[in-house]
Amino acid sequence: MVLSFPQIGGNATDTSAAQCLDFLSHGSSNGRYQLLELSVHSLHLGDDGARSLAAGFEAGCFHRIQALDLSHNDLTCQGCEILADAIDKHPIPKIQELLLTGNQIGDEGVRA
């Protein structure tokens, strides 16, 4: 399954975008579908959205994902560290593309 956020909700607030990620995590973890690509660019998810996404990684929801677009989401170094920690604990072996452009992650975020 390839999913771009406008297909499931359009222009969203930070809260509804995080709720969407929670919903995706739940549906994927119970076997209803398996995401291969997820594009949630320009939704201003912030570090709270990174936490929601990390919870999905930790639950094994996105283990088949191949492409993840988090561009222009107001992520900081802290958000990158949250995601990196979740991915370290629950690897995503098939990921080929991770887009983080337009976020203020700094050098430490890149190293995470």
Percent of the chain with pLDDT over 70: 69
What is the average pLDDT across 44-64?
A: 86
pLDDT digits (tens, 9 = 90+) for 76-110: 999 999 999 998 998 888 889 999 999 998 888 77
What confidence category does residue 9 fall into, taking pLDDT thresholds of 50, 70 and 90? very low
Please say whether the beta carbons of 41 and 74 come within 8 A: no
> Where is average pLDDT lowest: 47-51, 56-60, 102-106?
56-60
Domains and CATH numbers, the chain: 2-111 (3.80.10.10)
Q: What is the pLDDT of residues 24-41, one digit of tens each?
A: 655 555 555 667 888 888
